C-alpha cells in the first residue's frame, strides 16, 4: 500500500514536471514569435517613411536618380525578405542605401534646411532606433529560448515535442569592424 502511494506520488510529480516544462517551452517560443513580430511592426513604420523621404529629396536632387533608385530597390527587397537571416541582410543593404541618400542630402543646403526633410530624417532616425531595440530584444528572447531547449532537463521535453532552435538577427558586417581613425 505504501509503495503504491509512493509510485502514485512520483508519477504525479513527473507528470507535473512534464506539464510545467512543456508550458515553459511554449511560452518561450511564443515570446520569440512576438519579438519577431515587433521587429516587423517597426520595420513597416520605417518602410512607410522611406517613400516620403525619397519624394522630398527628388524635388531637390533630381539628377541623383541612381541613389534614389537604390533606396527604393533596397526598401522593396527588405519588404519582401522572409526570415531573420534574409531580412537582416536586406535591412543591411537598405541601411547602406539610406546612408548614401543622407550623404547626397549633405550636398544640398536647401534640402538640409527643408522642414519636411528634417522631420522625415528625424522620424527615420527614430525608426532606426526602434528597429535596433526590437532586434536586440528579439535576439535576447531567442537566446533565452535556445538555452531553454538545449539545457537539461527541458531539452528532453523539447526533443520529444520537436521544439527547434531559432536563428538570430545578424548585424551588419561593417558594424563588426573597428573604425580606423587617422589624423
Confidence (pLDDT) at 10: 95
List Cα–Cα distances, 103 to 16, 57, 82, 107, 117, in angstroms.
60, 12, 29, 7, 13
Q: How far apart are CA 84 and CA 33, in angstroms?
A: 11
pLDDT given at position 62: 64
Q: pTM to 2 decimals?
A: 0.72
Please choose, from the candidates 19, 22, 25, 107, the residue with its C-alpha nearest in 3D space to the C-alpha of residue 63.
107
Residues 48-92: tens digit of each pLDDT: 888 888 877 777 666 677 787 888 888 888 888 888 888 888 888
Spatial distance between the Cα atoms of 108 and 112, rounded to a whole number of angstroms = 6
Q: Residue 30 pLDDT more than 80?
A: yes
Residue 182 has pLDDT above 80, yes or no: no
- The pLDDT value given to residue 113: 66
Rounded average pLDDT over 105-109: 74
Amino acid at each position: 500500500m505504501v509503495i503504491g502511494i509512493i509510485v502514485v506520488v512520483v508519477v504525479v510529480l513527473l507528470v507535473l514536471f512534464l506539464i510545467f516544462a512543456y508550458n515553459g517551452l511554449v511560452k518561450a517560443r511564443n515570446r520569440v514569435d512576438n519579438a519577431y513580430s515587433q521587429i516587423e511592426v517597426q520595420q513597416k513604420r520605417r518602410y512607410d517613411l522611406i517613400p516620403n523621404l525619397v519624394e522630398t529629396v527628388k524635388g531637390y536632387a533630381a539628377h541623383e536618380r541612381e541613389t534614389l533608385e537604390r533606396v527604393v530597390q533596397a526598401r522593396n527587397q527588405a519588404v519582401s525578405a522572409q526570415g531573420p537571416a534574409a531580412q537582416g541582410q536586406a535591412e543591411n543593404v537598405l541601411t547602406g542605401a539610406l546612408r548614401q541618400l543622407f550623404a547626397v542630402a549633405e550636398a544640398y543646403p536647401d534640402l538640409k534646411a527643408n522642414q519636411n526633410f528634417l522631420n522625415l530624417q528625424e522620424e527615420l532616425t527614430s525608426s532606426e532606433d526602434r528597429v535596433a531595440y526590437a532586434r536586440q530584444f528579439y535576439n535576447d528572447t531567442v537566446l533565452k529560448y535556445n538555452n531553454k531547449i538545449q539545457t537539461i532537463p527541458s531539452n528532453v521535453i523539447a526533443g520529444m515535442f520537436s521544439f527547434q532552435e531559432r536563428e538570430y538577427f545578424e548585424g551588419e558586417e561593417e558594424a563588426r569592424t573597428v573604425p580606423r581613425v587617422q589624423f
